[in-house]
């Protein structure tokens, strides 16, 4: 059983009733893990097979960044590749579009992290590469690296069109990859694509804040973001 989890934002308690009640669960988290250590993932992994992509909040602090990229958990980040999970080829595009790097449909400012670093002053370089903030920015090279691969499902943090804040470049990527379903996080409102999905070759599902859905896009849990902003 493959389950798709919307942005946890540092809290994982809501997932346990589902992963503990079923056997052989693969849990795919759609970004914004917002960790401070690996403890939450280590504990959850006792009950399910965890995969994820990163979101914009995963480079907001050094602790959040290191919990993923500074640990063995970086091997479970699907960003930029296709993995086989319970017989399904799942591709991942983590992160968000940012104007200083690339804001489609406008032309990109930089093609890849190397290009960014070549034109950046030394004080902006962090740990030998792009600044911490831009470790979760999408570069054109991230999309180009996926375009020649094939997958059944594409998971993204950003939304495709026709979400009001979506990007057509994600739909274009899905078509090139032969994807039949897109699951995305980032937007906490569980945008309803059902009227649009009818008779479409590629179905789209927004799994919102601390929400959970199965591989058919059926919600098992709908979270409401009532945190103090």
- pLDDT tens, residue by residue, 154-167: 999 999 999 999 99
Nearest to 170, CA basis, from 225, 111, 120, 95: 95
Q: Which two tokens stand for residue 178?
A: 């032969």
List of residues 6+ apart from 98 with CB closer than 8 A: 133, 134, 137, 138
Q: Supply the pLDDT for residue 224.
A: 83
Q: Whole-angstrom Cα distance, residue 25 to residue 64?
A: 25
Handedness of CA 186, 192, 195, 198 (dihedral sign): positive
pLDDT tens across 39-69, in order?
A: 999 999 999 999 999 999 999 999 999 999 9
Handedness of CA 130, 133, 135, 136 (dihedral sign): negative
**Model pTM?**
0.95
Per-10-residue mean pLDDT, the chain, length 229: 97 96 96 97 98 98 98 98 98 98 97 94 92 97 97 98 96 97 95 85 95 96 80
């Amino acid at each position: 059983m493959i389950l798709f989890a919307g942005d946890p934002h540092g809290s994982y308690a809501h997932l346990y009733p589902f992963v503990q009640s079923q056997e052989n669960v693969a849990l795919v988290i759609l970004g914004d893990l917002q960790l401070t250590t690996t403890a939450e993932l280590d504990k959850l992994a006792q009950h399910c097979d965890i995969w994820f992509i990163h979101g914009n909040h995963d480079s907001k602090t050094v602790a959040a960044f290191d919990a993923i990229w500074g640990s063995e958990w970086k091997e479970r980040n699907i960003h930029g590749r296709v993995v086989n999970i319970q017989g399904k080829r799942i591709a991942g595009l983590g992160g968000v579009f940012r104007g200083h790097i690339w804001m489609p449909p406008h032309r990109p400012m930089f093609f890849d992290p190397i290009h960014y670093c070549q034109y950046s002053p030394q004080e902006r370089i962090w740990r030998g590469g792009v600044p911490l903030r831009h470790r979760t920015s999408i570069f054109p090279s991230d999309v180009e690296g996926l375009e020649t691969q094939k997958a059944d499902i594409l998971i993204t943090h950003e939304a495709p069109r026709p979400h009001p804040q979506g990007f057509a470049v994600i739909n274009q990527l899905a078509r090139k990859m032969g994807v039949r379903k897109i699951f995305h996080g980032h937007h906490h409102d569980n945008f309803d694509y059902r009227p649009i999905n009818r008779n479409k070759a590629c179905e789209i599902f927004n799994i919102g804040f601390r929400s959970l859905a199965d591989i058919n896009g059926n919600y098992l849990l709908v979270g409401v973001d009532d945190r103090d902003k």
